[in-house]
Amino acid sequence: MEPRQQQLERCAQLLSRRSTDDEKLAGLLLVPKVVDIHDTSALAFVLSALDARFLERLLRTGAKHFTKTTADSSTPFSESTESAMLLVAVRVIDVFAAHADVAQSPKLLDRIPTLYRVAALDIPGVSAEAAQVLAALLDRDPAVQGILERPGALADAIDGETARNVDALGYVLNRCSRFVCAQEDVERFVCAQEDVERYAHGWVVLVERAALLFCDVRDVRKFQLMSALASCLEPVDSDDARMVDAARECLLVVQRVSSGCTWILRQKSETTEYADQALVLYSHLVRLWPSHVFGARDHKGKSPEHAAAPAAGTETDRSGEGRKESELALRLACIEGQSSIDKMMIRPPPEDKDPVSVRESEAARVRLGWKYPVCAEIVSGWLVWVSRWLDDQPESSAVDEGGILELMTEVQALAQATVNFFVDWKERLDNEAEMLDLAPEIVLSAVHFLGEWLATDPKLHKAALPLISMCAAWVAGGGETGKTIAEYMRPCVLFALDMCGISEMQYVDDLKTGDCRHEGNRNAENASSWVGTIEMDDLARAIYAIPSDQDVLLARPS
């Protein structure tokens, strides 16, 4: 038997550019046999000799032949020479991808778009291995950086043919999202803002392409793409969303995903499961880019004045359709939110009043309302957006007040149902802390929604007094959740003060000094009667961490 070094040299010689295609193929067959994946020097030596263009040609030819064979349905692809050579190419990449240092070679990273195509074509006996190799390469940041710096080739590979295996697309998009949003990346790029912008730009390019596919297809792949896009957007927070939108406007992403979601929501034949998933995906759009979701059209029925008028019939000429989509989603969110509350409300309390049984019963009850936070996210986003939009309108502007009030009526119905549910829940448990512990997502989403709702009318607080006292208890409980609830409730406090002409600083000083008169224009026509009430002062003390007289007395040493 030849010494290992001689085997490596022979393999490298066969793989060189000067070799014939048959010799290169023979060299590829030798790679898994003679190269130890733990031997960095051997891997690097053989890879340096490899003709990457030949490897790329095998991948492309195999993928193209599979597509053609599938269309003709004459000879099974698995019996073809191209299938065997394609599998050889995938396994050779797998050998090099196993080592972190070697896997960063451009000879491998440049193969990712074609390797993705092979994985996404769902080729029997090949695509599963290709997907594993793709995941191994993308597990390391340099591969993701390369994709995001030059997204064009991968974006071109995201088409109708490669949507056969949507799992591959979902993995790639989610991995890119996690990379862009990773905290360590943000810290590392503080001194290289251009890198952040380049990666964010590349991310939007890829998501735009996937969103276009989701918008266009009309078969079962649409539902699979919906899950892939939800997995892509879930890791992104509002700060990340602003960053990527600044690098490349996300309006097309929003329009395409919105169109795909509303198509599903309008199909009476689709199952509730798919409609629920569409609502979840739409809530991500609202959470990340509310101005694009609701601001693509205004309540005058035309595009914003600052935007250039698009050509009729183009993708961006959809102000009317965008308005219909967002209103449909908002109305459905209100309806489905109330439906979730009804499911929780009608569940009877347990006959056994043992604390353990009660807690188990309540845990099962709130699980029925899993959809409520999704619906509340959409409604809260609209309330925030419409309030800001109205504030920005000049006094002479013709605003469709009737349309807004009609939507607000549906929002109010959801708000009242939410308050009623929390009153019922409090009667069952009589413990705010346990309510928060059982269903933090429901509590936080409800508080966010009601905080924004209370900031739209100075007289709404009367309907929400029971929940306001609960919020004061949750904020006083402290922790990150308490801080979040304080942040969610602060807008309605500021709104009430503003309606009475009282500044936040003055109000806080009054609470600290014990002056509950809160002098201001409290007799104005639209003044909030909430200002000066015990409920508001108690909530504000919790928000601003101001101890009450009773707290001060209790804190004194005896």
- What pLDDT, on the 0 to 100 scale, is given for residue 133? 95
Tell whether 126 and 167 lie within a shared domain. Answer: no
Looking up tokens 């250039």, which residue turns up? Answer: 308
Final residue of a structural domain among 139, 161, 186: 139
Tens-place pLDDT, residues 18-42: 999 999 999 999 999 999 888 999 9
Name the amino acid, one letter, at 333: A
What's this model's pTM, rounded to 2 decimal places?
A: 0.87
Tell whether 107 and 145 lie within a shared domain. Answer: no
Helix count and strand count (H, E) for the chain = 29, 0
Confirm if 97 and 135 have CB atoms less than 8 A apart: no
pLDDT (average), residues 154-173: 88
Final residue of a structural domain among 96, 122, 139: 139
SS3 514: coil
SS3 74: coil
Tell whether 5 and 94 lie within a shared domain. Answer: yes
Tell whether 481 and 375 lie within a shared domain. Answer: yes
* Residue 35 Cα distances to 13, 31, 39, 97, angstroms: 14, 6, 8, 13
Residue 327 forms part of a structural domain: no
**How many domains does the chain divide into?**
3
Residue 65 forms part of a structural domain: yes
Q: Check pLDDT > 60 for residue 92.
A: yes
- CA quadruple 429, 435, 437, 442: dihedral, nearest 10: 150
pLDDT (average), residues 115-138: 92
Smallest CA-to-CA distance from 489 within 535, 435, 426, 550 is with 535
Counting residues of the chain whose pLDDT is more than 90, the rounded percentage is 60
- Domain range for 147 is 140-288
Tell whether 124 and 155 lie within a shared domain. Answer: no
Per the prediction, the chain carries an average pLDDT of 86
pLDDT (average), residues 82-98: 92
Residue 324 forms part of a structural domain: no
Tell whether 381 and 516 lie within a shared domain. Answer: yes
Residue 293 forms part of a structural domain: no
Final residue of a structural domain among 288, 312, 328: 288
Looking up tokens 């000429």, which residue turns up? Answer: 317
Name the amino acid, one letter, at 229: L
Query: How far is Cα of residue 105 from the mean position of the Cα atoms in its chain?
Result: 32
Confirm if 292 and 254 have CB atoms less than 8 A apart: yes
Residue 294 forms part of a structural domain: no
pLDDT (average), residues 217-242: 93
Residue 97 forms part of a structural domain: yes
Residue 308 per-residue DSSP state: P
Smallest CA-to-CA distance from 115 within 93, 99, 85 is with 93
CA-based max dimension of the chain = 100
Q: Check pLDDT > 50 for residue 175.
A: yes
- Answer positive or negative: Cα dihedral of 147, 148, 149, 151: positive
Distance CA 482, CA 479 (A): 5
Tell whether 438 and 353 lie within a shared domain. Answer: yes
Tell whether 109 and 148 lie within a shared domain. Answer: no
Query: How far is Cα of residue 553 from the mean position of the Cα atoms in its chain?
Result: 47
Tell whether 197 and 51 lie within a shared domain. Answer: no
- What pLDDT, on the 0 to 100 scale, is given for residue 299? 38
Structure tokens at 232: 């892509």
Structure tokens at 414: 């959801």
